[in-house]
Every structure is written in structure tokens, then in C-alpha cells.
Amino acid sequence: MPTLLGLRTAALTVTAVLLSTVLAGCGDDGAEREDLTRQELSWEDCPTPSDAQGGGTAPSPLPDGGEWQCATMKAPLDWDDPKGDTIGLELIRARSSGDEGARIGSLIFNFGGPGGSGVTSLPSFAEDYETLRTRYDLVSFDPRGVGRSAPVICQNDQQLDAYFQRDATPDDAAERTELLENTKEFNDDCEQNSEKILPHVRTTDAARDLDLMRQVLGDGKLHYFGISYGTELGGVYAHLFPERVSRAVFDAVVDPTQNAAQGSLGQTKGFQLALDNFAEDCVSKAEECPIGDSAQDVKDRIAGLLEDLDRTPIPGVFPRELTQTAATSGILQALYSQEFWEYLTQGLQEAYGGDGSILMLLSDSMNGRKENGEYSNIAAANTAINCADDKPRYDTAFVERKLPEFRAASSLFGDYMAWGMITCTDWAVPGAADHPVVSAPGSAPILVVGNTGDPATPYEGARKMAEALGKGVGVELTYRGQGHGAYDSKNKCVQDAVHGYLLDGKVPRAGTVCA
């Protein structure tokens, strides 16, 4: 799925009345903690996704005709005060398709973001995980602050339309002031509308939820598949509860050693690499590349388009226009997967002719906007979780000092990524740390899969994660491919390694390379 990891993006305004429906009082300290681990989930047919989850229809039946089931798990709002309020965390599962005697337990997925709804994501990938379902119940969830799980709400749909059209790459003092004001207004609205949940959406909170989920599902140890930000969540879990890790796979791996600025610079390089690969692919085909005569020509024409859009937007999806910011986010979205490259080619071709609709639809996908104009809460949750996790707060002076380095990494994306670092500057909740701590001595082996062409979680992060997990814990596997992640590329070598470990406990040789 598309992820917003590290892309500091920013629906419906809520009141204290809405907050009171997702937060309910609980009993005393020790008894409440014990009661939560013993709670029994009431599994029922899944409802239609909420607006915060992205709307749409209830999940289609499983490939074998079985039905998806959903339930709500209670968890403490504040893990430091378990006798206080609780929140409901929404879960989804597909029961194992194999013999009961072969069942290992529940395999819990987190698909990334942060801010992505696992309840809506897991069904969309159901066919990809059918082999794993032979021995596991497949389970995912909306992490706290996401979807149906006490969602962070910041602005309404009309406000978000304006927010995502703003100029995210200021060229002068007036534009810088406007960007700062728009960012502060968004952050203030988040505080006003979601004040009670904002301090409690850190990854450490979600990791504790994950351990409660493990117990409630009846597993002695955690079986886990984390993708993108889900690898960070899994690493934090392994650090907090190393003895409770069973078989785990990390795919599209976050570099846990980097702070927010280093991560943004790494992504800038990653997306530039993906753009280079896209341009080379286009001109290498037997038929003529419709958007350039050479790879450099492809990139030069994109740069020219963005410069033109900065001065004069073109029609997008009526009544909105395609701005430079929307076009940039649309291009980034398309670079997440090689399967999207054909849409990027078509979108650029049409934009050169004055029609920005395809690039705007790609941008809408990045920002969680549906065709009817309603937004999911992925952008609000993404901002809230990132800002609660990341301790650094960057001002305009810092960004301006860093601009030459970002521009050297990518003349196309450098400004956009650098200015994104101010997102948390006026955030109401202090950040927890410079970077996540994932050292997990005593944990079972964790398979860490890196993709050499990954734009959002650059390949180097896999080795850093494996090293940070510790000797004998992180087992690195390399996939020489394109796009964000490796397993869903359907590469047989990658999938055989993942299946061998999760299904049969066979740890692949460290340093295995799949092409």
C-alpha cells in the first residue's frame, strides 16, 4: 500500500462530544490491567469502513469464500495510567484456511504509514497472503489515532483541500510566512480537536497495544509481519519485549539510527533514485518514450513542468487546479511502485497538454482523499504519530541551512522534502526521542528484507536495522528490485524465504540476495 512514512503531510472537525464516545472510564489499576488481558473479543461481520478509515464498502469475501471478521479491543488511553480511560482499537481477521492441528497462531500485520488503516489494508492484499493463511489467522488493526481507533482529527474536508494545495516550496519571505502560518493553523486545529489522544499515539504506545493484542488473541509469543513504518513498530516491540517475539518479518525497512532530518534526506535520495530508474525504464523500451528523448530529457521536462505550475496551475480534478505541490506529491506517490509508472507516464503526458487530472488523482491517493471529496485521517494520524515520536523541532533557519544538501540529493524533490521538516515545529506534544530504540538481545531471529530500489525506505536501512536489532537477531535479505517493499513484488526467492521462516521456522542464510 502507499505509505506516508517520513513525508510530513498534513476529516471532519470534532468536538468534546465525539471524544467522549471513543474514551470511556475504567476501574482500578491492577484489576484493570488484568481484565484487559483477559477480555474476550466479540468477532462480527465487518462494517462499512468509516470516513476516517477511507470509506468505501465492507471487505469482499476471502478467496475461499470465507468472511472477514472485525472486533474492538479495549486498551488503556495512557499506558502509564491503566486505571484511567480506555480506547477501542479496531481489529480485523481472516481465520486460518488450514487444518486446526497445523495452525501456529495469529500473524499480526502493520502496513505502515504511520497512519494507515490495517483494517482496510489487509483485505486489499488478501490474495497475496493466502499461503500464510494456511497456518495462521491473518490479523491487522487500526493503531491508536488511526481509522476507528480513537482517530486523530484535525481539519474538515474543505480545509484539507486548501491545505494540500498550499505552496510547500517557498521562494521568498512572503511565501515562507504563508507556509508557516498554514502549518501552524493545521497543528492548532489538531490540538483543538484531538487534544486528549495526541500525547498517547507514540510508537511505544502502539507496541504495548501490540503486546496486549497478542495476549487477547491467545498467543504465547508474537508472530508479526511489519511493512515500512511497521518495521519500526516491530523493532520497538522487540526492544520492549524481546522474549515475547516468535517469528517476525520486516519488509521495506526503516533505518532506526536516523533522526527526522536524516530520514528526510535519505528519502530525498531514495525518490531521486526511483525517478532515475523510472526515466531510464521509459526510454529503454522498444516503443518511443512519450515524455522524453533521453532519461535526462524526461527529468528536465518534469522540472520544467513543476516550475511552470509554481507560476500558473493547470486544471486538475474540477474544480481544483493542479499546483506545483499537488503535482510533486502525485509524482512521489507514483514512484512508490513500479506498477504505477505507466500512470505517471500518462499523467505527465497529459499535464504537458494542460490536463492535470491524473497527477491530481495520484496526489489525492497520497493524501487520503476519495473521489467524493472526503478524506481519511491518514494524514492527520501520520503527522500526530511522527511528531509524538520525533524529538527534533526544526525552524526555518535550520531548513535554509540544509537546503543545499537536499538540493544536491535531488534538484526535483529537495526543496519539497526539506521544507517538510517544519511540520512538527509548532506541535502541541513534545517528541519522545531522536530515533527509535530497537536493540533486542534475547529475541528470536527477525528476517529483515531490504529492496535496493526502494524510494521511501532506502535499502541501507535494512542493514542498519539488522545491526541495531543485535547479533543473532537481525537476519538481512536483499531484493534487487524496484518499488516500496519486496514481498508484494511476488519475487519467488523473497516469498520462499518469508514462507520458509513464518511457516516452517527456517531462518534463511544472512546476506541472501534475491534478484
Q: Measured in whole angstroms, how far is the alpha carbon of residue 298 from the centre of its chain?
A: 29
Orientation of helix 324-334 relative to helix 357-367, angle to 10°: 70
Query: At which residue does the C-alpha cell 480511560 appear?
Result: 85
Helix axes 229-240, 203-216, angle to 10 degrees: 70
Q: How far apart are CA 423 and CA 250, in angstroms?
A: 27
Per the structure block, which three cell numbers stand in for 300?
528536465
Q: Is 454 a catalytic residue?
A: yes
Q: Which residues have a Cβ under 8 Å from the Cβ of 367 and sit 6 or more positions away?
A: 9, 160, 164, 329, 375, 378, 379
Asked if 209 is an active-site residue, the reply is no
Q: 269: which residues sit within 8 A by CB, 6+ positions away?
A: 409, 410, 458
What is the helix (H) or strand (E) element at residue 397, kind and residue range?
helix 396-409
Q: Which long-range contacts (CB under 8 A, 24 or more apart) does 480-483 make?
A: 480/452, 480/453, 480/513, 480/514, 480/515, 481/338, 481/451, 481/452, 481/453, 481/515, 482/274, 482/277, 482/338, 482/451, 482/453, 483/336, 483/337, 483/338, 483/339, 483/451, 483/453, 483/454, 483/455
Catalytically annotated residue among 50, 484, 488, 489? 484
**C-alpha distances out from residue 414 to 105, 150, 169, 358, 406, Å:** 45, 34, 9, 23, 5
Catalytic site includes residue 228:
yes
- DSSP-assigned beta bridge partners for residue 249: 225, 447
**DSSP letters spanning 414-429:** HHHHHHGGGTTTT-SS
Residue 346 CB burial class (10 angstroms; 0-12, 13-18, ≥19): middle
Catalytic residue from among 228, 329, 376, 410: 228
Between β-strands 69-76 and 86-94, what pairing exists: parallel, antiparallel or unpaired? antiparallel
Q: How far apart are CA 153 and CA 384, in angstroms?
A: 10
Find cell 465525539 and name the residue: 18
Where do runs of H (alpha helix) occur along 285-395? 295-311, 324-334, 341-352, 357-367, 378-389
Kindly write down the DSSP assignment for every residue of 90-140, as one continuous string: EEEEE---S-GGG--EEEEEE--TTT--HHHHHHHTGGGGHHHHTTEEEEE
| Catalytic position from the list 189, 364, 415, 454 | 454
- Give catalytic residues, as residue numbers: 228, 454, 484
